[in-house]
Amino acid sequence: MTSTTTATAVDRPTSGAGSGQASRLPSLTGLRWVAAMLVFGFHVGTMRIIADPGPQAVVGEIFTLGLSGVQFFFILSGFVLVWSMRPGASRRRFWRRRFAKIYPNHVVLWALAMLAMLWFADPINPVAALENLFLVQAWDPRPGYFYSINNVSWSLSCELFFYLCLPLALPAVRRARPWLLWAVVIAVPLLILALWPGQALVPENYRWWFAQVFPLVRSLEFWMGVAAAELMLRGRWRGPRLPLASLFFVLTWVAASQWIRAEFWSALLSVAYVLVIAAAADADVHGRRSPLRSRPMVWLGEVSFAFYLVHVFVIMTILRLTGDWGTGLPGWWGPLAVIGFLLLTLGLAALLHRYVEQPMMRRLAPSRPARAAGPGDAARPGGPSTDGLPRQRTPPDGTGPATATGPARPSTGDSASAVS
């Protein structure tokens, strides 16, 4: 069954979720938490919290592709930002709001990570630290630079690049023919697939950076989300409804983790992610049932950005303080520690969201100008400032990353990374 979003169907629905929520796409906020939990589970496995081989293998098996949360969030980011962009909005206003959204939380975690490094007497590379602070580290291919300080912030470096580009490219996106937008949606999985042989053209030491971190390469997923959102806004998107899209996502996830070769899985997941994102948005627009927009899911989605920035730092710091880093906790202590880390990180994320992210958004971001509703509002609804973040991290020894775009499937164990 497909959803055919017509031009009038983008209007706010009169049933179900109610008209006020539909333009805000709360289901996409709920999806952020789903992706964040996939990333958390991935790190539970790769950071070796659980020492016993049996439970550790189960976690690793279930969340082996949890690193692809970064792929999910890049697509989601492009979709939501285009959906929420108001006609005539100034570039400066857009950039200021994006800065206010991501930078305060980043600075807090950067400072905490620096303090932890000083506490543990870890060597600090001042150039890498400054690159990380100003979110330009993803452009530096040298090992130890693009994953530095609070390692997960590499993806914020990519997001910053996307934010700079979107207002400049948006006029062309608005003028693009539907066939061209569809070409972008279809071409991105093929280009991701082409990265597998394409990385052979890059010096071996830089291949991981090129395929997994380089902002130009990672922008493929962002533009996929941009094109899908523009198609839906025009009433030209065709895709399954949320139940079928969710089933397709689960089946793709299982198949990719069990049977599909490494060079294919990320391309297939990009298709599954864009379908479920568009289907969730379509459910909100039409007021169809969506468990993703329940109040708990929306709240969890709202704190997911802070959750991502905090979770690796919390786990790694506590395990180093207790002397269990790299060895894990035996018996039931391992699973109990996972639950404890989840609850502690969620609590800290809630505090960061409430006392840093929200106040700084009010202080730094320009207020949205009040204006009368116009005929274009239904087609260009002003959605939430959901930016689709959670992403990726690497162990303190920098032995190996693991992200989602590309060809090189990570090995297990110490070749872990994290999704910001």
**β-strand partners of 4:** 238
Say if CB 241 and CB 282 are below 8 A apart: yes
Query: In angstroms, rounded to a whole number, what is the distance separating the alpha carbons of residues 406 and 420?
Result: 16
Domain tally for the chain? 1
- CB within 8 Å of 241: residues ≥ 6 apart: 1, 2, 3, 279, 282, 283, 288
3-state secondary structure of 182: helix
> For residue 94, what are its two tokens?
């857009």
pLDDT given for residue 47 in this prediction: 84
- For every residue of 266-327, DSSP letters joined together read HHHHHHHHHHHHHHHHHHHHHT---GGGSHHHHHHHHTHHHHHHHHHHHHHHHHHHHT-TTT
Q: What value, to the nearest 5°, has the Cα angle with vertex 122 and ends 119 and 123?
A: 135
> For residue 213, what are its two tokens?
């971190």
**Separation in Å, CA 303 to CA 108, 368, 418:** 15, 22, 17
Query: In angstroms, rounded to a whole number, what is the distance separating the alpha carbons of residues 284 and 288?
Result: 6
pLDDT given for residue 14 in this prediction: 33
φ and ψ at residue 394, rounded to 5 degrees: -130, 155
Query: In angstroms, rounded to a whole number, what is the distance separating the alpha carbons of residues 294 and 279?
Result: 16
Residue 21 within any structural domain of the chain: no
pLDDT given for residue 366 in this prediction: 74
pLDDT given for residue 367 in this prediction: 67
Closest CA to 20 of 263, 373, 335, 412: 373
Residue 309 within any structural domain of the chain: yes
Q: What is the pTM of this model?
A: 0.81
Residue 111 within any structural domain of the chain: yes
The enclosing H or E element of 46 equals helix 26-46
In tens, the pLDDT along 235-280 reads 999 999 999 999 999 998 888 887 877 778 888 999 999 999 999 9
> For residue 417, what are its two tokens?
């990374």
pLDDT given for residue 23 in this prediction: 56
Query: In angstroms, rounded to a whole number, what is the distance separating the alpha carbons of residues 116 and 139?
Result: 25
The share of the chain scoring above pLDDT 70, in percent, equals: 82
Regions of the chain with pLDDT less than 70: 1-23, 367-420
Query: In angstroms, rounded to a whole number, what is the distance separating the alpha carbons of residues 238 and 154?
Result: 33
**β-strand partners of 3:** 239
Q: What does the buried/exposed string (b/e) look like for 244-283 if buried means 16 or more CB atoms within 10 Å of the residue's CB?
A: bbbebbeebbeebbeebeebbbbbbbbbbbbbbbbbbbbb
Using CA atoms of 301, 306, 311, 313 in order, give the dihedral in degrees to the nearest 10: 170
Please list the alpha-helical segments (H only) found in 134-206.
Answer: 154-175, 178-198
- Map tokens 């090992």 to a residue: 143
Residue 68 within any structural domain of the chain: yes
Work out the end-to-end distance of the chain between its first and last CA atoms, rounded to an integer number of angstroms: 34
Residue 401 within any structural domain of the chain: no
Q: What is the 3-state secondary structure (H, E, C) of 228-258?
A: HHHHHHCCCCEEECHHHHHHHHHHHHHHHHH
Torsion over CA: 351, 356, 361, 362 (sign): positive
pLDDT given for residue 146 in this prediction: 93
pLDDT given for residue 344 in this prediction: 96
Q: What does the buried/exposed string (b/e) look like for 183-215 if buried means 16 or more CB atoms within 10 Å of the residue's CB?
A: ebbeebbebbbebbebbeebeeeebbbbbbbbb
Residue 136 within any structural domain of the chain: yes
**In which region does residue 177 sit, left (phi positive, over 0), alpha (psi from -120 to 50) or beta (all else)?**
beta
Residue 372 within any structural domain of the chain: no
Query: In angstroms, rounded to a whole number, what is the distance separating the alpha carbons of residues 283 and 292?
Result: 10
Residue 362 within any structural domain of the chain: yes
The domain in which residue 178 lies consists of 27-366
Query: In angstroms, rounded to a whole number, what is the distance separating the alpha carbons of residues 333 and 340?
Result: 10
pLDDT given for residue 61 in this prediction: 73
